[in-house]
Amino acid sequence: MSPSEIQNLRFHELKLPGTHDSATYSLTNELSQVSYPNIAFLWSLSSGSAQSNGQWPWQNSNQFAVGEGMYNAIMDIIRGVGKSQDMNMLEQLHDGIRYFDLRLYYDTRYNNFYLQHALMACPLTEVLGHVAGFIRNHPDAAEFIILNLSHTNFNDPGMDTETLTAKVCSLVSTYIQPENIFVPKDAQADSPYPFNDLGEHLLSDLTQKTTKVFMINTDTYQYTSPNGGVPVVTTTIGYANSNRSDDGVNTLDALKAVEGPALAKNPSQKNLYQVAWNLTAQIPNVIAQTIASMSHPKPHKQLRGFAYEINSSLKSFLESYPHAHYNLVTMDWYHAYPEQVHYLIHRNYVHAKKEQA
């Protein structure tokens, strides 16, 4: 984004490469404290030993004991289904990714903030450290990086929302220098910011000749910022999208059938829009994943297989809607087909040349 011709584009004219479930490169075999309804049974399993009499149910303290070996095998399968990236945050930034989908939660067992996708991923501090490292490595750059925090448990029963959000804001301020944190001039800590208002701003007005990190929160509550600062901005919507079901789809044809018509209906440049180019494993895929895991020494990576299937079709899909407007494309395993990231970046230069002509 740093070249002057890109800086002279308005924000709604930019095509940003993004990643879906950006921190899943670091997934562990330990369940997070954010339960997903379709796999809620996992939280009732225990790695403890079964009853010595061998009778079912092998239950201790409302958990079903399956033994350490079986428990780890199950979590290996879940990790194979849920891992959507293989490059860490710093590597993603170096590859041109500028939007990150971060599923954040507070873990009461460890008194710390982690990313998650059912399974626990890396701590938030690792992500912030990678972003800070990228900024240090490129002191003369003027990039615009969006970190979208969502799917948190901060508002769950028993959680102190105000304290937790204040701690997140404090962590952001600890790792990212004030001059590198983007806060819209009219953003307020106690009210949502209208995200689409960014669209008409020149990128140069947003970056001010230095790399800026825009921390947004698309959950339904406010972040309480210490010392009067607003390092995490609550938005009303974030990027508009196809609003497809959280259950997702698991074939390329089904993906096109959902994303295509929605994209075609978005001709307005004032509506900041995201194309979510990813598939979601369904029950048959999980069964296939389980069988594959039994027959191969290393866990099969379901979403990587999906990415190899669909990422090569992204360019042709986007070009089949020449009059539709989009600003962000998020992908799983983008590194399986990096040409698509290059394509999105190149579209910005093509648009800049048209503006100069």
Alpha helices, DSSP H only, in 208-357? 252-264, 283-295, 302-310, 314-319, 339-356
Q: What is the mean pLDDT of residues 99-111?
A: 98
Average the pLDDT over each of 56-60, 247-251, 293-297, 338-342 and give the range with the smallest value: 56-60
Cβ atoms 48, 241 nearer than 8 A: no
Q: What is the mean pLDDT of residues 68-93?
A: 92
Q: What is the mean pLDDT of residues 19-44?
A: 93
The pLDDT, as a whole number, for residue 212 is 98
Asked whether residue 50 is domain-assigned, the answer is no
Asked whether residue 315 is domain-assigned, the answer is yes
Count of Cβ atoms closer than 10 Å to residue 49 Cβ: 12
Residue type at 75? M
Alpha helices, DSSP H only, in the chain? 4-7, 68-82, 89-94, 124-137, 161-175, 203-207, 252-264, 283-295, 302-310, 314-319, 339-356
Asked whether residue 27 is domain-assigned, the answer is yes
Task: Quote the pTM value.
Answer: 0.94
Residue 317 confidence (pLDDT) above 60: yes
Asked whether residue 126 is domain-assigned, the answer is yes
Q: What is the mean pLDDT of residues 21-45?
A: 93
- Name the percent of the chain in helix, strand, coil, to the closest 5: 40, 20, 40
The pLDDT, as a whole number, for residue 7 is 97
The pLDDT, as a whole number, for residue 338 is 94
Average pLDDT of the chain? 91
pLDDT class of 150 with cuts at 50, 70, 90:
very high
Q: Is 63 helix (H, G, I), strand (E, B) or coil?
A: strand
pLDDT class of 334 with cuts at 50, 70, 90:
very high
C-alpha distances in angstroms, 185 versus 79, 230, 337? Answer: 41, 10, 38
CATH number of the domain encompassing residue 186: 3.20.20.190
> Domain total for the chain?
1
Q: What is the mean pLDDT of residues 10-38?
A: 95
C-alpha distances in angstroms, 154 versus 121, 163, 231, 306? Answer: 17, 9, 17, 32
Q: What is the mean pLDDT of residues 113-129?
A: 98
Q: What is the mean pLDDT of residues 178-198?
A: 90
What would the pLDDT profile of 203-236 be if each residue is shown by its tens digit?
A: 999 999 999 999 999 998 899 988 778 899 999 8
The pLDDT, as a whole number, for residue 37 is 83
Cross-strand partners of 19 = 100, 331
Asked whether residue 276 is domain-assigned, the answer is yes
Contacts of 172 (CB under 8 A, 6+ apart): 128, 181, 215, 231, 232
pLDDT class of 89 with cuts at 50, 70, 90:
very high
Residue with more model confidence, 290 or 322: 322
Residue 242 confidence (pLDDT) above 70: yes
Q: Is 17 helix (H, G, I), strand (E, B) or coil?
A: strand
Residue with more model confidence, 345 or 302: 345
pLDDT class of 50 with cuts at 50, 70, 90:
low
Average the pLDDT over each of 52-56, 208-212, 304-308 and give the range with the smallest value: 52-56
Locate 308 and state its tokens.
């190899």
Asked whether residue 131 is domain-assigned, the answer is yes
Bridge pairing between strands 328-331 and 99-107: unpaired
What would the pLDDT profile of 264-291 be if each residue is shown by its tens digit?
A: 999 777 789 999 999 998 877 777 777 7
Q: Give the structural domain span for 321.
A: 4-35+74-356
Backbone angles phi, psi at 98, to 5 degrees: -130, 0
Beta strands in 8-108 (DSSP E): 16-19, 45-46, 59-60, 63-65, 99-107
Residue 166 confidence (pLDDT) above 90: yes
Asked whether residue 263 is domain-assigned, the answer is yes
Q: Return d(Cα 15, Cα 203) in angstroms, integer.
A: 12
Asked whether residue 85 is domain-assigned, the answer is yes
Q: Determine the angle formed by the axes of helices 161-175 and 124-137, rounding to 10 degrees.
A: 30
What value, to the nearest 5°, has the Cα angle with vertex 110 and ends 47 and 125? Answer: 120
Residue 255 confidence (pLDDT) above 90: yes
The pLDDT, as a whole number, for residue 354 is 84
